[in-house]
Amino acid sequence: MPDSTGKDDFLYPTGRYYGEFTPEKLLFDANLQEFSRRVTIICALENGGKLPPIEAYKQIKSLWKLLKVSKQNLLIDEDDSSE
């Protein structure tokens, strides 16, 4: 079985975390990057005519709500990030 690590790294690159390290902030950064990847895919599907605009909007809105819950659960300080 071929190693898919190289392909996964290419298709889903992960940026390095540069902020002040805490496990919570690192996890939120990973969640933020996943949000970004998924929004990019949804936008590409909508632009390609594979997903209706209202469905794309609903999916992105749902992802945004999940990201907000993640932020609240990880107790990220409000003054560390802007909305």
* Confidence (pLDDT) at 75: 79
| pLDDT band, residue 56 (cuts 50/70/90) | very high
Q: What percent of the chain has pLDDT over 70?
A: 83
* Confidence (pLDDT) at 9: 74
Burial of 28 (0-12, 13-18, 19+ CB in 10 A): buried
* Confidence (pLDDT) at 17: 86
Q: What does DSSP assign to residue 78?
A: G
Whether 10 shows a pLDDT value over 80: the answer reads no
Q: Where are the domains of the chain?
A: 22-74
Tens digit of each residue's pLDDT (9 = 90 or more) over 26-40: 999 999 999 999 999
**Distance in Å from the first CA to the final CA of the chain:** 44
